[in-house]
Every structure is written in C-alpha cells, then in structure tokens.
Amino acid sequence: MRFFFVLWLSLAAWAEPLTVRAGHLLDVATGRMLSDQLITIEGERVIRVEPYHPVTVQIDWSDRTVLPGLIDLHTHLADVGQNEDVALPMKTSPAATALLGALHARQTLAAGFTSVRDVGTYRAFTDVALRDAIEAGTVPGPRMSVAGAYLTCPGGGGELNGVGEVPADMRFGVARGAAEIASRSEALFGGGSDFLKLIVTGAVLAIGTEVEEVELGEDEVRAAVEVARRHGSYATAHAHGSQGIKTAIRGGVRSLEHASLIDDEGIALAKQHGVWLVMDIYNGDYIEEIGRKQGWPAEYLRKNLETTELQRQAFRKAVAAGVNIGFGTDAGVFPHGLNARQFAYMVRYGMTPLQAIQSATLEAATLMGKERELGQVAPGFWADLIGVKGDPLADIRVLETAPAVICRGLPIR
C-alpha cells in the first residue's frame, strides 16, 4: 500500500487516479452516513464514490469519518491578528503581513478548512497576493476568495483609528457617498478582489465606533452591490446594529457578517431576501478571556460584552426561523487553526450537528456561488475532503482535532 506524504506540491495532478477508502462517509446533502466507501480522485476532482471493493488504495481512511473540506466564510488570513496593540497592523510592513498570511493559511488548511472567504485586511491586496501564491502552488493553504480591502467611511469601522497618520495602502477602500463607493469598488475588482466587503456599522474591534451607528447609507450599499453585479460577483456587509442590518439587506447584499443585534424585523427581511447570516458566535468568549488577560482596549471589551450574548440569542432565533446560515468565525481575532471551535457553539444555540456541518459545506458553497464545485464529496466536485476520528453527528467536537486533509486532490501532511 502506498501513502503520499505531501508538504505542498504544485497543482499538477497525480499521473494516476488517487483512491481513498473511507470507513464512513457523511453525505452532507442527505445527512446519511455511508459505510465503507471508495472515493476515486483524478486530478483535482472526485470522479467516483462507490461502496468499497478490493482495489489498490493509496489513502486508507478506513478508521475515519470522511467529510467535504470545511469552509470558513469569515477569516482574516492576510492580516496580523488581534492583540492589545491597536497600531500593530501599521507597524507590520506589507511584506511581513504577507508572510504572516502564509503561516495563517497553513494553519487553517491543517485544521481541515480547505476553502475560506478572506473578508478584509488593513493592507490592501495582501489577500490577493496570498490567494495567488496558493493557487500557484508556492504557498500551502486553502482555496481563498478575497475582498482586497474594506469599503468603509472615513473614521469608520474599517479604518485603523486612534494611531495617527495611516499609510495610503491602509486607506484604499475609504470612501464617502455613492459615487466614491462605486469608484473604490471598481478599483477593488481591478486589483483582483473576488467580492466586496462593506463596513455598514461601527465595529467591536475598532476605536471610536459604536456598533449601532449606521456608517453607510442604503444608496452607498446599493452602489457597491451594482458594481459587484457587473463583475459577476456580490457584496457582503459587516453589520452589528439592527438598523444597519436592515440598510444592508435593502441595499442588496448577499450576506451579513456578525449580525449581532438583528431584530425580528431584520430576521424576517433576511429570510424574505434569501440573505445569509454569517455569525461569529464563538469569539466573544475568546475576546473576554484573552483580551481581558492581555489588556486589550477597554472599549473593545465593553462592546464585546454588549454584543456577545445578544448575538447568540439572535442566532438561535434565526435558526428557528429558517434563515440561511453560513459558517464564519472571524479567525484572526482568535488564533488561526482554531476555527472548528465554533461548531459546538452553533449546536448549543439551536443547530443540529448536521445543520452546523452543512453551514460549513453546502450552505457556505452556495453563498459563494460555488455549490457545483465545493461542499460535497461527489463526482465532479473539487477533491477537497477531510478524515476525522469519531462521528461528528454524535459529537461535533471531534472536528476540533486536526484531521487528515486532502486539498486539490493532494494529501496534505
């Protein structure tokens, strides 16, 4: 039996099909757990899934449960991470930021997240460079869909406030008014962005902004959305406060990040318009514990306390109402690679284990417009899959232990 130990290779396919024996395979579309399956991969795609029969097997996961590679819709790989130093992004050069991004990408892939949306970086287009390096095979990491930079008003939740004069590359997406927003949106797509990230309300982790403040109007949101549509893409909105959430939905965004203070009207609007909620309900505990221990700004800690429990109760309501929910963690606030910790919180606050897994597979892929490529282990889909010890439908926390990973048809060691 052969087993491939791969640190990272170019995207060239194996010369022959790769076969994987799965002790159990979770069909995320139906919720069925299939026993003893044989998965055949050719190049970067799955070509067959069938009951196991005697054949030469390169990857023996007969002691594992196999799932599609997981998708995190809210990460910040191409950034420095969060600590008590508000000015850290400015103190870290673009080159150093990119190198940190390469480390974060490797950590994320090792945790079983084979695709991510990177929803903003202070250093414009470092996420584009990281995505392109991964696609070229020079850096190990997940498939990335990137925003390029934040679209934010001056002094808003996407700005680095309270640190003095900020370099121009850290203010690339700063704009006011529909015309400026549209111009910056075009520039972001011109620089290689895959979608747009709008900062519609103040932020928990931004100095001088409050989460209930609406920072972009409906006309500004719509201007960005229209540009995105012309590029065959979409916009997502950072929005904590209830009014900002409704502004973003009415402006035409495809998804909402955080949605901490969404009210009943906002939940109904999200369901009516088919908008996805991407609610990071784990990291409030991390901010309270580690942020307090490390001495993060008091403003951050106050706003975190004001939103954490309300966000979780809103999440429970949204699940019960049948709103589209996508898995997103805000990784970068907490260390990359710990993304799977959120699954247990999603189950605690109203989801079944299957629903939580679907939010990071089927639902996430559909939000990204890649439902025919990602999110399932099935013929024709990209060969991104993970193998875990145990049954995640019985104990969702088995996903927190580093799995075996295949990404782009290549086993990752």
- Mean pLDDT for 384-412 is 97
Tell whether 381 and 249 lie within a shared domain.
no
Does residue 39 contact residue 377 with C-beta atoms inside 8 Å? Answer: yes
pLDDT at 38: 98
4 occurs within a structural domain: no
Q: Mean pLDDT across the stretch 349-371?
A: 98
Q: What is the DSSP string of 326-366?
A: E----BTSS-TT-TTHHHHHHHHTT--HHHHHHHTTHHHHH
The whole-angstrom separation of Cα 74 and Cα 344 is: 17
Report the C-alpha gap between 56 and 28 in whole angstroms.
Answer: 27
117 and 195, same domain (yes or no): yes
Are 219 and 330 found together in one domain? yes
Query: Residue 25 domain-assigned?
Result: yes
Q: What is the pLDDT of residues 72-110, one digit of tens each?
A: 999 999 999 888 888 999 899 999 999 999 999 999 999
How sure is the predictor about 11, in pLDDT bands with cuts at 50, 70 and 90? Answer: very low
Both 173 and 35 in a single domain?
no
The H or E element spanning position 127 is helix 126-136
Say which residue the tokens 């008590």 belong to: 84
In a domain, 100, yes or no: yes
**Given a cut of 50, is residue 10 above it in pLDDT?**
no
Q: What is the mean pLDDT of residues 165-185?
A: 95
At CA 293, angle to CA 288 and CA 299, rounded to 5? 55
Judgement on whether residues 404 and 272 belong to the same structural domain of the protein = no
- Closest alpha carbon to 362 in 349, 374, 354: 374
Domain CATH code at residue 105: 3.20.20.140
pLDDT above 90 coverage of the chain, percent: 91
d(CA 256, CA 299) in angstroms, rounded, equals 23
Domain of residue 393, CATH code: 2.30.40.10
Instruction: Report which residue type is found at 50.
Output: E
CB-side neighbour CA atoms (13 Å) of 12: 4
Pairing type for strands 404-407 and 410-412 reads antiparallel
- Residues 94 and 210 reside in one and the same domain: yes
* Mean pLDDT value across residues 320-342: 98
Is 40 in the same domain as 95? no
Identify the domain containing residue 150 by its residue range: 70-367
Q: Give pLDDT, residue 144.
A: 98
Question: Please, which pLDDT band fits residue 4 given cuts at 50, 70 and 90?
Answer: very low
Number of structural domains in the chain: 2
First to last CA, the chain: 17
Q: What is the pLDDT of residue 178?
A: 98
pLDDT digits (tens, 9 = 90+) for 204-228: 999 999 999 999 999 999 999 999 9
Q: Are residues 45 and 164 in the same domain?
A: no
One DSSP character per residue, 65-94 reads EEEEPEEEEEE-TTS----S-TTHHHHS-H
* Cα separation, 344 vs 390, whole angstroms: 15
pLDDT at 15: 59
Instruction: Report percent pLDDT > 70 for the chain.
Output: 96
- 238 and 125 assigned to the same domain: yes
Q: What is the pLDDT of residue 234?
A: 98
| Residues 77 and 56 placed together within one structural domain of the fold | no
Per-residue pLDDT of 17-58, as tens digits, reads 999 999 999 999 999 999 999 999 999 999 999 999 999 899
**Residue-wise pLDDT tens digits, 145-155:** 999 999 999 99
Give pLDDT tens digits for 229-275: 999 999 999 999 999 999 999 999 999 999 999 999 999 999 999 99
